[in-house]
Amino acid sequence: MAWLSLIAAGLFETAGVMSISRLNKERNAQSLLLLLGTFGSSFILLAYAMEFIPMSTAYAIWTGIGASGGALAGMFFYGESRDWRRVLCILIILGAAVGLKLVE
């Protein structure tokens, strides 16, 4: 359950980054509530996961999912570059997160 919570926390982190972009475009209460809800959910799920997963591993995986997810969201939803080097860097981030789990 802790690992599912950690993955969900990372996905909410990605949604939070996307909600920042939305808030910059649409300054209204709904955008602000979305931002608070996504990041709030992310932190709550991360805190739960850290009760069972070492802090260093949980935080690295959470930030890896968030960073990779943010980059992928930029590529798919915001027209950012899909250069192969960016994709390679995303794979390196995800590979490092998996490596941390393997040597835990």
Alpha helices (runs of H) in 1-104, residue ranges in sequence order: 2-25, 29-49, 55-77, 84-102
Number of domains in the chain: 1
What's the pLDDT score for residue 98?
82
3-class secondary structure per residue, 33-44: HHHHHHHHHHHH
Question: Which tokens sit at 2?
Answer: 């802790």
pLDDT tens-place string over residues 48-103: 999 999 998 899 899 999 999 999 999 999 999 999 999 999 999 888 888 877 88
Range of the domain at 51: 1-103
What's the pLDDT score for residue 94?
87
